[in-house]
Structure 1
Amino acid sequence: MLKEVRKIATFVETTYCEGGKTADTPVTTVIVAAVIRNPWAGQGFVENLRPEILRVAPELGEIMTRRLVEVMPGEQVQAYGKAAVVGVNGEIEHASAIIHTLRFGNLFRHAVSGTAFLSFTNTRVGPGALVSVPMIHKSETGKRSHFITGTFQMADAPSADEILLAIGAADGGRVHPRIADRFQDMQEMGLDQASA
């Protein structure tokens, strides 16, 4: 286990009813979040973030992915995303550095047979902030039924010199999707893929 890891938490939520109507199929969302000491904390402005990215991101990605697929096996995952928030003494670039590398994201993507990019948030917050993990369909990026968001919070994280990272997955989209997808809009508007 990386020495930077303070704790890892798993959040599971199942939606059975939305808008007063019971779901035909309930939708479960799983988020795995890790709180780590910011590896660049206390160093001032660090020009080259790469050595710590190469050291931290692959192992953290493996640990978090393994935990997520233990709860929701890869074949059940339909939508996914990620988030990184840095404490107030860090740079947003520090949060971004860990999750915006193929050494982190590809582990998750491959484990769930995804082909789409992982939608994301990266920002700076204080402890206890509500963190959003935006998700899209793992292979059909224009499938708006799967534009969903998982949320969670950790009362004591991130502290000023920490980073809180998360990956999220869902076994479906919104329970009652009723808006057109991107491809239908494009067809109706006479747009081709290159212009949209």
Structure 2
Amino acid sequence: MLYLNLCNILSKSIVTLRAVRYLKGALGQGIFLHADSELSLQGWCDSDWAIYPITRRFLIGWIVFLGKLPISWKTKKWHIVSRSSTKAEYHSMASVTCELKWLKALLLSLSVHHPKAIPLFSYSYSTLYIARNPTNHECTKHIEVDCHFIRDAIQEGLISPSYVSTANQLVDVFTKALGKKQFDYCLSKFGVYDLHTPT
């Protein structure tokens, strides 16, 4: 038990040190919101199943774009162990669907209409299949509430889930340890710039 606690403390301190180093080297980075940005929403979701080697908990992440710029994002470690990667992906999809529903209502209160279904990108074929197929739920009772919530959102025309390849999955930056090339690719897609550089 003492060994596990020491490993936990050591891994947290290494992660903290890396985060501080990154922040020190990126003091001028930020997201510049353009006045002429499109007012259309799109969501991306992902999860990393059994990511933690000691507890085997899973991690979900999602991001919402307004036009080409991110306006809302979240990463959350779940305090339960899932025996299914599809369950982890479905939790992620349900969470971003809630956020998209709220943002659509917020935009409507600001007189910005969003008549089309909001694109929602996921790389999990099984999650997309269950979301689109209302009869295939005999093995999914553990995620039944999320299933009905997402199917209702699809039938209402709120979201339109579609597949995105792992190489183009932007939410990986929140759920996985990426190499520098993939990390920089995600930052460029998020519209992150060094705000101190002259234009």
TM over 0.5: no
**Which structure would you say has the larger Rg?**
2
Q: TM-score, normalised by structure 2?
A: 0.33
More helix per residue: 2
More strand per residue: 1
Q: TM-score, normalised by structure 1?
A: 0.34
